[in-house]
Amino acid sequence: MLIFSAPSGGGKTTIVKAVLKHFPQLAFSVSTTSRSQRPGEINAKDYYFISSEEFRRKIESDEFIEWQEVYPGIFYGTQKSELDRILTQGKNPVFDVDVKGALNLKNIFQSEALTIFIQPPSLQILEQRLRLRGTETEESLSQRLNKAAFELTFAPSFDVIIINDDLERAINEAIHVVDDFLLSH
C-alpha cells in the first residue's frame, strides 16, 4: 500500500497520477469528502462527494478505515468498501490523503505500507502555486497556508520525503521509491 500526503498545492496529485500511469498493478483509492465538488472534479473518480450528515452516518456505521475532520465541518476519509474494491481487482492501493490520515493508515498497515510526503520547497512557493490555481479566496488561502505549516511538522514521521522543487525530478524520485518498495514486498 502506498500512501502519499502533502500540503494542498504541494504537487501530490500530479505525482500520484504519474506513479499510477507507470505501475499498472496500482489503483487509486478514491477518498470520500463532505466538501463541495470543484469545477472539473468527477464524483467517484476524484472523490466520493457526500454531505456532512451522510459522512457522520458512515462514521457511526464504522464504514471508514480512517477519517479526519480536516477543516471545521469538512471531512475526508477512506471507506472500507474502497479498499475492498481495489483488493478484489488484485491491485495495490495508492492513497492520496492528509498527513493524519496517512499516519493512521501507516499505523494500521505497518510494514505493508510506504508513506511518502511530498514537500514544497517553501511556504512562499506553495503560496504562489495556490494563487496560480485561482481556486482560493484570501481567507481560504490563509487557512490552507496555516494548515500547510502545521502539516510540514509531520514530514519526519513519513518513510520518505520528496521535495518537489522540480516536478520531473520529484516524479522520477517517486517512481524509483515506489519501484524499490514494490520489489521488496
- Residue 38 pLDDT: 86
Average pLDDT value for the chain: 94
Higher pLDDT, 16 or 125: 16
Percent of the residues in the chain that have a pLDDT greater than 90, as a whole number: 78
Interacting residues of 66 by C-beta distance below 8 A, sequence separation 6+: 77, 78, 97, 101, 104, 105, 108
Q: How many domains does the chain have?
A: 1
- Residue 150 pLDDT: 94
- Residue 9 pLDDT: 80
Q: Is the pLDDT of residue 112 over 90?
A: yes
Closest by CA to 7, choosing from 102, 112, 108, is 102
Distance CA 144, CA 119 (A): 14
Q: Is the pLDDT of residue 135 over 80?
A: no
Domain of 159 in residue numbering reads as 2-183
- Give the CATH number, domain containing residue 32: 3.40.50.300
CB atoms within 10 A of CB 20: 16
